Amino acid sequence: MKKHQFVKEDCNCSRRATYFRCKFCRSLEYKSPQELRALNSAQATCSSPDAPAVPPHEAFKGMLGGTFDCLAPDFETYLRDIPAAGKAK
Protein backbone atom coordinates (compact mmCIF):
# COMPACT_ATOMS: atom_id res chain seq x y z
CA MET A 1 0.00 0.00 0.00
CA LYS A 2 1.16 3.51 -0.79
CA LYS A 3 -0.01 6.44 1.30
CA HIS A 4 -0.68 10.12 0.72
CA GLN A 5 1.65 12.84 1.95
CA PHE A 6 -0.42 15.95 2.47
CA VAL A 7 1.08 19.46 2.45
CA LYS A 8 -0.65 22.70 3.44
CA GLU A 9 -2.02 24.88 0.66
CA ASP A 10 -0.82 28.47 0.75
CA CYS A 11 -4.05 30.09 1.94
CA ASN A 12 -2.64 32.64 4.44
CA CYS A 13 -5.10 31.63 7.12
CA SER A 14 -4.67 30.63 10.73
CA ARG A 15 -7.59 28.21 11.02
CA ARG A 16 -7.04 24.74 12.36
CA ALA A 17 -8.77 23.09 9.43
CA THR A 18 -7.48 24.16 6.04
CA TYR A 19 -6.82 22.78 2.59
CA PHE A 20 -4.13 20.12 2.25
CA ARG A 21 -2.98 18.65 -1.07
CA CYS A 22 -1.17 15.34 -1.64
CA LYS A 23 2.36 15.83 -3.02
CA PHE A 24 1.95 12.90 -5.39
CA CYS A 25 -1.63 12.49 -6.64
CA ARG A 26 -2.74 16.11 -5.98
CA SER A 27 -5.92 15.07 -4.14
CA LEU A 28 -7.36 17.78 -1.91
CA GLU A 29 -8.63 17.45 1.67
CA TYR A 30 -10.13 20.01 4.04
CA LYS A 31 -8.98 18.79 7.46
CA SER A 32 -6.85 19.72 10.41
CA PRO A 33 -3.30 18.37 10.81
CA GLN A 34 -4.52 16.15 13.63
CA GLU A 35 -7.17 14.60 11.36
CA LEU A 36 -4.55 13.91 8.67
CA ARG A 37 -2.46 12.05 11.23
CA ALA A 38 -5.36 9.67 11.87
CA LEU A 39 -6.73 8.53 8.50
CA ASN A 40 -8.18 5.06 7.95
CA SER A 41 -6.73 2.82 5.24
CA ALA A 42 -9.30 3.82 2.59
CA GLN A 43 -8.59 7.53 3.07
CA ALA A 44 -4.81 7.07 3.32
CA THR A 45 -4.31 5.08 0.11
CA CYS A 46 -2.63 7.06 -2.66
CA SER A 47 -2.97 6.05 -6.31
CA SER A 48 0.33 7.56 -7.44
CA PRO A 49 3.22 5.15 -8.12
CA ASP A 50 5.62 7.76 -6.70
CA ALA A 51 3.96 7.84 -3.28
CA PRO A 52 5.88 6.33 -0.36
CA ALA A 53 5.09 2.84 0.83
CA VAL A 54 3.62 2.45 4.29
CA PRO A 55 6.31 1.43 6.82
CA PRO A 56 5.86 -2.13 8.13
CA HIS A 57 5.05 -1.07 11.69
CA GLU A 58 2.36 1.35 10.48
CA ALA A 59 0.90 -1.26 8.09
CA PHE A 60 0.65 -3.74 10.97
CA LYS A 61 -1.17 -1.20 13.13
CA GLY A 62 -3.48 -0.45 10.20
CA MET A 63 -4.39 -4.13 9.83
CA LEU A 64 -5.43 -4.13 13.48
CA GLY A 65 -7.71 -1.13 12.98
CA GLY A 66 -5.15 1.60 13.58
CA THR A 67 -4.75 4.81 11.62
CA PHE A 68 -2.19 6.16 9.18
CA ASP A 69 -0.19 9.38 9.47
CA CYS A 70 -0.47 11.08 6.05
CA LEU A 71 0.92 14.47 7.01
CA ALA A 72 4.18 15.19 5.20
CA PRO A 73 7.16 16.06 7.43
CA ASP A 74 7.55 19.37 5.55
CA PHE A 75 3.81 20.06 5.33
CA GLU A 76 4.03 23.76 6.27
CA THR A 77 6.89 24.72 3.95
CA TYR A 78 6.71 22.39 0.93
CA LEU A 79 4.55 24.55 -1.37
CA ARG A 80 6.27 27.73 -0.20
CA ASP A 81 9.73 26.37 -1.00
CA ILE A 82 8.66 24.78 -4.31
CA PRO A 83 6.18 27.26 -5.82
CA ALA A 84 5.76 25.26 -9.07
CA ALA A 85 4.44 22.31 -7.07
CA GLY A 86 1.46 24.33 -5.93
CA LYS A 87 0.36 25.22 -9.43
CA ALA A 88 -1.99 22.88 -11.29
CA LYS A 89 -1.06 22.21 -14.89
pLDDT (tens digit per residue) in 51-61: 999 999 999 99
pTM of the model: 0.81
Q: What is the DSSP letter of 51?
A: S
- 6 in Cβ contact with 48 (< 8 Å): no
Please compute the mean of the pLDDT values over residues 22-34 and round it to a whole number: 93
pLDDT (tens digit per residue) in 9-26: 876 666 677 889 999 999
Please state the φ and ψ torsions of residue 28, each to the nearest 5 degrees. -115, 135
pLDDT (tens digit per residue) in 60-88: 998 898 999 999 998 888 877 776 555 55
Going from N- to C-terminal start, the domains of the chain cover 6-86
Q: How far apart are CA 24 and CA 10, in angstroms?
A: 17
Of 9, 18, 3, 4, residue with least CA distance to 77: 9
Q: What distance lies between CA 64 and its chain's CA centroid?
A: 21
